[in-house]
């Protein structure tokens, strides 16, 4: 069967969505991938798919024997102004599905686009036992703690999601918090929990009850163990959006069977899913907040795809593919919007292009920093 790409799903529109579902699949829920990107994918989830998503999440918690009565703090994507540190957005439980089956402690949500030192303030204020965020952001927090001699003995486990847990990220995290366990989850909006880290080893087990995962070469042929290739996924439970051999844009490599006794397929390493960090003129680096699509659409709906290129600490190029040229007023409004989102009055140059290049791993990146960050540890 042919490989399914984002472009094919987007060009099909609502024709890609199933019009007749088994009755027991329940209600439908629209979902979109990465609200920050220029090319989101719209899918439909159901009560049935949510059931499996929740079950796999509970299994991952069970594998790692987490104590739900303790405190959880998450640093993740949110709209500007929501869940700002140090207080963040506080809840009395961990939320669903955990609180549906277990008594839990409290949880705090912090906006990842906030400044690094303010996130540190939030961690010191709330003293959570569990911390969940993106690897690049956790590495930035770890480096800040190392540079400023900040200890966090209350942290028992750090969980990473949303990006590859690169070796240099893991090294910084373990160096800053040597007493803390470090675990990773491989997931996507389209599928949910794809694979989870073995509690006894560093590799991942594929949740094959819910997803058929392939790793293929440039000719779409299966890769041998240890050879990196493109990840294709087939959702086995989502009848509303038939994702069959869907190309996520990630690269991975198979591993040998695990000695832990879990007979699920093993992924040795996941490549890609790296997000570049925005560098401010004062040397501070931040997780780049690129705004929401609906805010941009209030100015113009002509922008089909975009990419930010940071050339210097003061200069950013905004490359766009448009359905029609923008007026000078629209261009100026977009500059002001992005300056607000990025948190600094950067010199933003708008460049019209016919296509946007992929990175060395064959992935599209919405933000690319060309600034040397060796001097910018935050």
User: Confidence band (pLDDT; 50, 70, 90) for 364?
Assistant: low
3-class DSSP state for residue 95? coil
> What is the per-residue pLDDT across 250-259, written as a single tens digit (0 to 9) for each?
889 999 999 9
Angle, to 10 degrees, between the axis of helix 116-126 and the axis of helix 135-148?
80
Q: Please state the pTM of the whole predicted model.
A: 0.78
What is the number of helices (H) and of strands (E) in the chain? 8, 20
Per DSSP (E only), the strands in the chain are 28-32, 42-46, 72-76, 89-91, 107-111, 130-133, 157-160, 181-188, 192-197, 204-206, 211-216, 229-235, 246-254, 266-271, 278-279, 285-286, 303-310, 315-322, 347-352, 367-369
> What pLDDT shows up at residue 275?
56
The residue behind tokens 């070796």 is 167
> Strand 347-352 relative to strand 315-322: parallel, antiparallel, unpaired?
parallel
> Strand 28-32 relative to strand 367-369: parallel, antiparallel, unpaired?
unpaired
Alpha carbon 205 to its chain's center: 19
Measured between alpha carbons, how far is 68 from 7 in angstroms, rounded to an integer?
41
Before 97, cis peptide (omega within 30)?
yes
Measured between alpha carbons, how far is 158 from 352 in angstroms, rounded to an integer?
41
Residue range 120-136: mean pLDDT, rounded: 96
Q: Where are the domains of the chain?
A: 6-67+129-271, 278-369
Residue 199 has pLDDT above 90, yes or no: yes
Residue 272 has pLDDT above 80, yes or no: no
What is the percent of the chain with per-residue pLDDT over 90, rounded to a whole number? Answer: 66
Residue 355 has pLDDT above 90, yes or no: no
* 146 burial type by CB count under 10 A (0-12 exposed, 13-18 middle, 19+ buried): middle
The CATH code for residues 278-369 is: 3.30.300.30
The CATH code for residues 6-67+129-271 is: 3.40.50.12780
Residue 185 has pLDDT above 90, yes or no: yes
């Amino acid at each position: 069967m042919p490989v399914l790409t984002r472009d094919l799903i987007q060009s099909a529109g609502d024709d890609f969505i199933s019009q007749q579902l088994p009755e027991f699949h329940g209600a439908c829920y629209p979902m979109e991938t990465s609200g920050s990107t220029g090319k989101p994918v719209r899918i439909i989830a159901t009560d049935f798919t949510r059931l499996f998503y929740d079950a796999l999440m509970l299994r991952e918690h069970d594998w790692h024997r987490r104590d739900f009565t303790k405190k959880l703090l998450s640093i993740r994507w949110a709209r500007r102004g929501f869940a700002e540190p140090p207080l963040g957005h506080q809840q009395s439980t961990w939320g669903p599905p955990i609180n549906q089956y277990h008594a839990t402690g409290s949880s705090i949500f912090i906006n990842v686009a906030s400044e690094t030192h303010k996130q540190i303030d939030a961690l010191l204020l709330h003293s959570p036992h569990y911390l969940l965020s993106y690897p690049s952001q956790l590495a930035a927090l770890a480096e800040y703690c190392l540079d400023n001699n900040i200890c966090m003995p209350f942290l028992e486990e750090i969980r990473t999601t949303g990006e590859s847990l690169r070796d240099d990220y893991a090294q910084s995290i373990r160096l800053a918090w040597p007493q803390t366990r470090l675990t990773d989850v491989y997931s996507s909006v389209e599928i949910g929990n794809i694979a989870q880290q073995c509690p006894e080893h560093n590799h991942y087990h594929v949740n094959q009850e819910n997803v058929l995962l392939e790793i293929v070469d440039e000719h779409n042929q299966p890769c041998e163990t240890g050879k990196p290739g493109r990840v294709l996924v087939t959702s086995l439970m989502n009848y509303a959006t038939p994702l069959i051999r869907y190309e996520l844009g990630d690269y991975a490599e198979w591993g040998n069977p695990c000695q832990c006794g879990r007979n699920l397929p093993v992924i040795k390493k996941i490549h890609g899913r790296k997000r570049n960090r925005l560098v401010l003129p004062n040397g501070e680096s931040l997780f780049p907040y690129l705004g929401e699509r609906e805010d941009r659409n209030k100015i113009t709906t002509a922008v089909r795809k975009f990419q930010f290129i940071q050339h210097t600490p003061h200069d950013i190029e905004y490359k766009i593919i448009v359905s029609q040229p923008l007026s000078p007023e629209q261009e100026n409004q977009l500059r002001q919007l992005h300056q607000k989102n990025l948190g600094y009055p950067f010199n933003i140059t708008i460049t019209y292009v016919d296509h946007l290049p992929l990175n060395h791993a064959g992935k599209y990146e919405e933000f690319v920093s060309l600034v040397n960050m060796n001097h910018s540890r935050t």
